[in-house]
Structure 1
Amino acid sequence: MLPGGVFRRTATAFGARPGRAAVPVAGRERRGLPDCQAMRTDDFWQLIDRARAGGGGEPHAVAARAVALLAERDPEDIVGYAHHQARVLSASHKVDLWGAAYLINGGVSDEGFHHFRGWLMTQGREVFARAVADPDSLAGLPQVRAASLSGEEFSGSEMLAVPWDAYRRATAAELPADREPAPVPDLNDFWDFDDEEEAKRRLPKLAALFVEPPAE
């Protein structure tokens, strides 16, 4: 069965802060986000690295530090951050990564998968990129291995709200909507995340941690 029921494409995942509509502001930004040349992909991840170094390991602490750092930048940089975040979320919208999140968190909806990737962002660029390329690599993270025993779930909704919170703090206005939102990839190769044999085939390391062993 599909996690969370039938898959729904949501604007929340890529174009607006969860729970809030993006409100255009005055000037040229009323037409949508300006060209995002002020921040590069390297800048995006370097800011997250600084937030990780200064904000503690918990997602809410990393997010709070990221908001503070980003709010010190020009509004164009905040817009650029939002643009890169949307691209990162689009690139990571993959079935096997969703399956990995499903195993680790003991089930996850489409919104839960979105929040899981917010947590994954707080782990930094290298971990994020490796997980997108090979979701089973998450089995090597100490906190994931610990979660297989403790039942801890991973979510980082606060991290996803960083550009909206930073823009509001810096400008007292709402971050404008992206006029060219990142596309939501089609997911046509869903598999039954509750199928233990399929999980073992696709994600053997994670399955060894989170799938119940067969009864003897």
Structure 2
Amino acid sequence: MDADAFWEMIERSDRETGARQERLAWLDAELSLRSAEEIADFSMWWISATSRLCAWDLYAVYCSVLGWGSLDGFEYFANWLVSLGRTAFEQVAAIPDSVIELPQLLRLLELRRVRLANDEFPVWSMEEEPEFELLGYVAFDPYVKVAGLDVVHLGDAVRARGVQGKFPLMGADFDGEGWDFSDETEMNRRLPRLARYRAIR
């Protein structure tokens, strides 16, 4: 499985399903039809993609969007960004500040604004929130079924392909230079689009 096939599977899983559980089931079924090598390739591309998102500036975006942040939550946010498809992923991976231009995120921010104004909680449902934890594990069961091996061997197969994931984060694995997210001057310099959005809200 090459990168094009990986992204096609990610995007088809969105087009051909509705709720997140349906999407997970679709991917499970599709991967279960593949060889163990193809499933390991899928996992390799998944890890390569999410690892590209491990940057200080994107972590700042995540914390700003949610109003708080955790390392686990950031991983699930990265999963969600990959779930949006290749175009959105490449845009954000190249320019983290461009995340504020994603229509999917703008819709969620508007929902949050309206619901907070009406004292409605939670502001996002489980289907809506910009985190997708379970998508990160979708290759595990198919690999165990097809390969007949413990899921630990899937990690070995990915590393054998020369890929080492950055998640789970241990606090010092971000790309770029760390900075104080509460520093408005630095926020304006590093993430001007997000800073402008926050200023007009």
Alpha-carbon distance in structure 1 between the residues aligned to 2:23 and 2:198: 27
Per the alignment, in what secondary structure is the counterpart of residue 16 of structure 2? helix
The number of aligned residues is 174
> Out of 63, 67, 84, which is 2:28 matched to?
67
2:3 maps to which residue?
41
2:119 maps to which residue?
none
Alpha-carbon distance in structure 2 between the residues aligned to 1:208 and 1:173: 50
Q: Note if contact 1:59-1:158 (Cα within 8 Å) is conserved in structure 2.
A: no
Per the alignment, in what secondary structure is the counterpart of residue 192 of structure 1? coil
Change (3 A) 1:188 1:202: closer
Q: What's the CA shift for 1:171? A: 4.6
Structure 1 segment 77-88 matched on structure 2, within 5 A: 77-88=38-49
Structure 1 segment 185-200 matched on structure 2, within 5 A: 187=175, 189-200=177-188
**Over the residues paired in the alignment, what is the CA RMSD in angstroms?**
2.3
> What amino acid does structure 2 have at the position aligned with 1:204?
P
TM-score, normalised to structure 2, is 0.76
Gaps of 5+ in 1: 1-38
> What amino acid does structure 2 have at the position aligned with 1:182?
Q
Alpha-carbon distance in structure 1 between the residues aligned to 2:100 and 2:46: 24
Q: Are 2:37 and 1:55 aligned?
A: no
Following TM superposition, the consecutive aligned residue runs of length 4 or more in structure 1 with deviations greater than 4 angstroms are: none
The CA deviation string for residues 71-121 of structure 1, in whole angstroms up to 9 with x for no partner, is 111111101111111211222211111111111122221111111011111
Alpha-carbon distance in structure 1 between the residues aligned to 2:21 and 2:60: 24
Q: What's the CA shift for 1:133? A: 0.4
2:191 maps to which residue?
203
> What amino acid does structure 1 have at the position aligned with 2:71?
D
Q: What's the CA shift for 1:60? A: 4.2
Per the alignment, in what secondary structure is the counterpart of residue 92 of structure 2? helix
Q: Note if contact 1:148-1:210 (Cα within 8 Å) is conserved in structure 2.
A: no
Change (3 A) 1:51 1:131: same
Q: What's the CA shift for 1:209? A: 3.0
Q: What's the CA shift for 1:122? A: 0.8
Q: Identity rate of aligned residues, in percent?
A: 29
Change (3 A) 1:170 1:193: same
Gaps of 5+ in 2: 113-122, 167-172
Q: Note if contact 1:63-1:159 (Cα within 8 Å) is conserved in structure 2.
A: yes
Structure 1 segment 10-49 matched on structure 2, within 5 A: 39-49=1-11
Q: Note if contact 2:97-2:191 (Cα within 8 Å) is conserved in structure 1.
A: yes
2:57 maps to which residue?
96
Structure 1 segment 140-155 matched on structure 2, within 5 A: 140-149=101-110, 150=112, 151-152=123-124, 153-155=129-131
1:26 maps to which residue?
none
